[in-house]
Structure 1
Amino acid sequence: MDFEEILVETDRLVFPALAAGDGPVVVCWHGFPDHPATFGPLAQHLVAAGRRVVAPFLRGHHRATAHDMTYADGLTLAADGAAVARALDPPVDMFGHDIGAGIVQRVAAAWPELVRRGAAGAVPAPAAVGAMLTDPAQLQRLFYLFLFQLPGLPEALLATDRRLVDHLWATWSPNLDPGEHRERVHALYGDPVLSGNALRIYRGNFDTSLHDPRLAALAARSEAPAPDPLLLLAGADDGCVDPRWFTHDGLAPGSRVELVEGAGHFLHLERPDEVARLLLDWFTS
């Protein structure tokens, strides 16, 4: 897919984004350790179906926004997602993967008027997250979450040679060869400022000094179940989040949960045809 890089001007920040196609917009939010270009194979199918794909870089994940990461909590990222949706003539269809899945779920909960149809990949509904964090086997899969709380060590690991990035990709999607995307992902997280921003997102899960106090009043709403149906997608071979956590618990009536066979965590890159089919069916239903 030949993306063009565009700028999405919002009332919060100017977001660099990759874009392709014409028609109704599908906003695609990436996760970690990832890059918006990995939506390329999926975008090829969506564009062929008459959609315009806009895949922004997360705040702090592009040199243009490298120093715009004062706050790094999930609600800050969700407010970014809402701002991008407003700038793209809402309501928009939205798909998020990994960290991006959290963006979609929070935008759908706190700003439902901005999301026409929302879909989240590789992260279950908020109702499952609390239970996940009490399960020893799942906690073992999430070792990186706790590693990233340490001062200095994860920065050094990412700066040295990106073997940690390769390990996460290999264990989360054991049958995937990332090909050309490996170089892109390595370049992004080989930049110490950008990788430091990614670490701040994970530290924001526990460090309330990284939470934007101006958004505090929205926290209860953003963490509640979305009032409208969502589509949850899980890879059957996901080595990061056990697919058994993907249930309808806490989802609005009419929501769907789909298991994608032959895919791990990076399901949009492993099975772009099937993920596109599920998304297009969801967006048009």
Structure 2
Amino acid sequence: MGSFEEIVIRTDRIDFPALAVGSGPIVVCWHGFPDHPESFGPLAERLVGAGRRVVAPFLRGHHPSTLDQLAFGDGLTLAADAAAVHAALSDEPLDVIGHDIGAGVAGRLAAVWPERVRRVVTMSVPPPAALRTIFEDPAQQQRFFYVFMFQIPGLAEGLLNATLIDYLWRTWSPGLSVPSYVQELYADPAVRANALKLYRANFDRSLHDPALSSLASVSEKPASLPMLVLAGADDGCITPDKYADAATGLAPGSRVEIVAGAGHFLQLDRPDEVAALALDWFR
């Protein structure tokens, strides 16, 4: 596989920088936190080998060219971005893989704009419609300490640093070290501020785009399209038991697969297994 090239996807919302490689039917891959599109590299190598083109956009506010373009941080804003990217890439519906925050992007995209989606794979976060009770578990609240810490102005800005990012990676995917490209991305204070905005939007409705508010009732319901939901058996962020009720947030025909030997960053921990599952789902 050739290395990723950086491209710009011009949409009716903003221009999205993305990493792209390969030729053939497109798979759009959305990254999460604290992460970078380049983490899809090993998975992309396998998808390209199977005749696919992989396009991995930077989330809004996570590239130098979009740092000042994250007025709102809600999940619908990111899903609307994904719909615009898909429309700009093809007149036909596209396959999509979403990891972490990107899993929410893919799930809400499928719920609100199903005409833009062919097949959906999400990784490491249960579907949006099945997340309502996740905060009720005290053990999960402990694992989500950073979510709550990020709500505190001043404290969060000081503690979202290289040490915390390294800790999250090591805790979420045991044995996996944070890649240099992730540390370099989050070395920028503006990127860190935008990441905090995404998490604060979970609780602060002033960070929700009012132009999209009419879609909120749809975006949090199960998508009409079946989804393949992947979780790592050793995920230290959201443990596999949190997917027991995933079916309540999924359309008939969906599947949940727990990937043995994988932590939170499945695309790096077990790229062979993830690629095989995704390609089978796309077929």
Note whether the superposition's TM-score is higher than 0.5.
yes
Task: Report the equivalent of 2:198.
Answer: 201
Instruction: With the length of structure 2 as denominator, give the TM-score of the two structures.
Output: 0.97
- 1:82-161 matches, cutoff 5 A: 82-89=83-90, 90-159=92-161
> How far 1:88 moved relative to its partner?
1.1
In structure 1, stretches of 5+ residues that fail to align are none
In structure 2, stretches of 5+ residues that fail to align are none
Deviations 1:224-282 (A, max 9, x none): 10011001000000000011122322211100111111100001111011000000000
Task: Report the equivalent of 2:269.
Answer: 270
Which of 221, 225, 232 is equivalent to 1:224? 221
Q: What is the letter of the counterpart of residue 152 of structure 1? A: G
Deviations 1:28-71 (A, max 9, x none): 00000000001000000000000000000000000000000111
SS in 2 for 1:54: strand
Task: Report the equivalent of 2:167.
Answer: 167
Q: Alignment length, in residue pairs?
A: 279
> How far 1:176 moved relative to its partner?
1.7
Q: Aligned equivalents of 2:52 and 2:124: distance in 1?
A: 23
Instruction: With the length of structure 1 as denominator, give the TM-score of the two structures.
Output: 0.96
Does the 8 Å CA contact 2:123/2:230 hold for their aligned counterparts? yes
> How far 1:107 moved relative to its partner?
0.3
> How far 1:120 moved relative to its partner?
0.5
Question: Is 1:253 aligned to residue 252 of structure 2?
Answer: yes
SS in 1 for 2:96: strand
Q: Aligned equivalents of 1:2 and 1:274: distance in 2?
A: 21
Q: Aligned equivalents of 2:238 and 2:258: distance in 1?
A: 12
Q: What is the letter of the counterpart of residue 216 of structure 1? A: S
- Identity over the aligned pairs, expressed in percent? 62
Deviations 1:110-166 (A, max 9, x none): 00010000111000122331111111111111111000000011211235xx10000
- 1:30-45 matches, cutoff 5 A: 30-45=31-46
SS in 1 for 2:79: helix
Q: Aligned equivalents of 1:170 and 1:102: distance in 2?
A: 23
Deviant stretches of 4+, over 3 Å: none
> How far 1:175 moved relative to its partner?
2.3
Considering only aligned residues, what root-mean-square deviation do their CA atoms show, in Å?
Answer: 0.9
SS in 2 for 1:11: coil
